[in-house]
Amino acid sequence: MASVSFPEEDLICPVCCDLFTDPVVLDCSHSFCRSCMERFWSSQLIDKKTCPVCRTECFNEKLLSNLVLRNVVESVRASKQTRVKEKKLEVVKARRPESTQKTGKRDDLCSLHREKLFFFCKEDQELLCMVCQRSKRHKDHHISPVEEAAQELKEKVRLSLGKLSEEQMISIAKKDECLKTTHHIMDQNRLTKAQIKKDFEQLHHFLRLEETARISALEDEAEVKNNIMKKKLEEVSKTEKSISNTIQTKRADLERDDIQFLQAYKSYKDSASPCNLHDPALGSDALIDVAKHLGNLRFNIWRNLLGQVQYYPIIMDPNTAAPWLKLSENLTSVHYTDLQAEIPDNPERCDLCVCVLGDAALDADTHWWEVEVGNKTKWDMGVMIESLSHKGILNVNSESGFWALALREGGQYSACTKPWTRLNLKRKPHRIRICLNNVKNELSFYDPLDMTNIYTFEHLPTRKLVPFFSPCVSDQRSNTEPLRVLPLKVDVTITAETAH
């Protein structure tokens, strides 16, 4: 029968990077060592069993042996061991002096006593013959037969290989997580850059409109002033022409004889003066009001710009959002989505609790913000200690480091004490105002419609607190509205301080 040769790289397990040992085949047709797959599946944090190479889920609970591959590997391993032995023998023979080769010196004989090696010294890590074993040098040493020592040390090496394989699989998982994080960073960079360009394009558009409007106002005033001056010029030109004609007539009359001059002179008294010599050519508003167009130009544009922009007292941090949450482009609203996003499981991210945190801790001042809740049927909101872990199930109550207000089905409002304190409200508010007073260590919730106090937490700890929001899950198309932080009105105040 003709033998078929296989490239050795096709007979290597992707996990332990060695020749297959008892190979098994998965549903996706990838093959691995049986022991490698069992260790890999036992190290996974989730119940789902996947292929280490393509991440395809495996539904077959029993690992199927790949008999064909096992036979090929065993044949290759036997052939490889034979070649290795032959090569070692050739190297040993090449290194022996002629006298040694002629005398037929063997590796299993003691180099000192020419006796067969039967023992192994664990302290000196040396093979010993019967004579060496009884020598003073190895007195009181731990000596065992060659077969026993080899079996014990081989078992240690096998155990170390198992640990190395586990570390290798963990390293592969970390590498995969790093690659996912790298792709997420690239997506963050792309989306954030696009949003920055979008916001600046809106600002540029506003500035272009302002520029067009102000230049148009300047052009309109210049046209009005030019038209006034054209009319004035026409009047002055007519007057100048009339005076010129009168001068020519009088000069001609001066050349006449006395009788003709006296006859003409009577008409000079009857004719009125053609113009008022004291009437100024320019009026008080003849020139363009440059001060109106240029005075505090940049300040006035900036003040108009405030009407186009909004300031939000709280910004949500997308790096803390649970995988089921989606934030708005300006990071001020959050809603639940059924799809779990492929995002890194970074330390600050909430993984099981459906919530998102504010982007920064609130300093030792007084803060307030309003949240639009609309007609939602479930939500939680308030503050939490910044240093708390965000992983796992979060117990939202004051003893666990949360000070919050909650709404559940049926319109039941509760203060998140331990246990929760049920609240009776006169009406269902569509907005909630949250006020944190770090001076008095108090957190209050209000209905901003009439500033009715809903609940106040007292004696908060003097630790860094961060806002948190939970829109809760949506169920059968209910509770789908977002939680939205509302912007504050921005005013410009001019003080009479002298700039230095």
What DSSP string runs through 190-249? Answer: HHHHHHHHHHHHHHHHHHHHHHHHHHHHHHHHHHHHHHHHHHHHHHHHHHHHHHHHHHHH
Indicate the pLDDT class of residue 241, thresholds 50, 70 and 90. Answer: very high
In this predicted model, which residue has the larger pLDDT, 267 or 356? 356
Average pLDDT over residues 254-273: 76
Quick check: 321 pLDDT over 90? yes
In this predicted model, which residue has the larger pLDDT, 371 or 160? 371
Strands (E), 309-401: 325-327, 333-336, 356-357, 366-372, 379-385
Indicate the pLDDT class of residue 369, thresholds 50, 70 and 90. Answer: very high
Task: Record the pTM.
Answer: 0.62
The whole-number pLDDT of residue 69 equals 82
Average pLDDT over residues 70-85: 80
The whole-number pLDDT of residue 93 equals 63
Query: In whole angstroms, what is the distance from residue 159 CA to residue 250 CA?
Result: 134
Indicate the pLDDT class of residue 2, thresholds 50, 70 and 90. Answer: very low
Average pLDDT over residues 247-276: 77
* CB 351, CB 392: distance < 8 Å: yes
Query: How many Cβ atoms from other residues are within 10 Å of residue 420's Cβ?
Result: 17
CATH for 318-485 is 2.60.120.920
Q: Please report, for residues 92, 405, 439, the alpha-carbon distance to residue 101 in angstroms, rounded to integers and kept in the order given.
A: 10, 91, 94
Counting Cβ atoms within 10 Å, is residue 483 exposed (0-12), middle (13-18) or buried (19+)?
Answer: buried
Quick check: 269 pLDDT over 70? no
Query: In whole angstroms, what is the distance from residue 494 CA to residue 156 CA?
Result: 80
Query: How many Cβ atoms from other residues are within 10 Å of residue 376's Cβ?
Result: 19
Contacts 24+ apart (CB under 8 A), 164-171: 165/15, 165/16, 165/36, 165/39, 166/39, 166/43, 168/15, 168/16, 168/17, 169/15, 169/39, 169/40, 169/43, 169/52, 170/43
Q: Across the chain, what does the average pLDDT equal?
A: 86
Quick check: 277 pLDDT over 60? no
Percent of the chain clearing pLDDT 70 (strictly above): 91
Taking alpha carbons only, the member of 318, 327, 311 closest to residue 484 is 327
DSSP letters for 273-332: PSS-TTS-SS-TT-S--HHHHHTTHHHHHHHHHTTT--B-S--B-GGGS-TTEEE-TTS-
The whole-number pLDDT of residue 442 equals 95
Query: In whole angstroms, what is the distance from residue 232 CA to residue 212 CA?
Result: 30
Average pLDDT over residues 140-149: 85
Task: Provide the 8-state DSSP code for 488.
Answer: B
Of the listed ranges 129-133, 383-387, 422-426, the one predicted with least confidence = 129-133
Of the listed ranges 8-17, 21-30, 395-404, the one predicted with least confidence = 8-17
Query: How many Cβ atoms from other residues are within 10 Å of residue 102's Cβ?
Result: 9
What amino acid is encoded at 11 in this protein? L
Supply φ then ψ for residue 490, to 5 degrees: -105, 125
The whole-number pLDDT of residue 261 equals 83
Indicate the pLDDT class of residue 102, thresholds 50, 70 and 90. Answer: very low
Query: How many Cβ atoms from other residues are within 10 Å of residue 141's Cβ?
Result: 14
Could you tell me the strand order of the sheet in which 64-65 lies? 31-33, 23-25, 64-65
Q: pLDDT tens digit string along 393-441?
A: 899 999 999 999 999 987 899 999 999 999 999 899 999 999 999 999 9
* CB 423, CB 455: distance < 8 Å: yes
The whole-number pLDDT of residue 270 equals 56
Taking alpha carbons only, the member of 357, 356, 484, 482 closest to residue 432 is 484
The three-class DSSP label of residue 85 is: helix
Query: In whole angstroms, what is the distance from residue 177 CA to residue 175 CA?
Result: 5
Residue recorded with tokens 């803060």: 367
Query: In whole angstroms, what is the distance from residue 45 CA to residue 66 CA?
Result: 27
Average pLDDT over residues 177-204: 91
Query: In whole angstroms, what is the distance from residue 463 CA to residue 364 CA?
Result: 9
The enclosing H or E element of 170 equals helix 146-254
CATH for 8-101 is 3.30.40.10
The whole-number pLDDT of residue 100 equals 44
Query: In whole angstroms, what is the distance from residue 464 CA to residue 367 CA?
Result: 13
The whole-number pLDDT of residue 106 equals 61
Query: In whole angstroms, what is the distance from residue 142 CA to residue 121 CA?
Result: 6
* CB 435, CB 425: distance < 8 Å: no
Taking alpha carbons only, the member of 411, 358, 350 closest to residue 381 is 358
Query: In whole angstroms, what is the distance from residue 448 CA to residue 434 CA?
Result: 9
The whole-number pLDDT of residue 226 equals 93
Average pLDDT over residues 276-305: 82
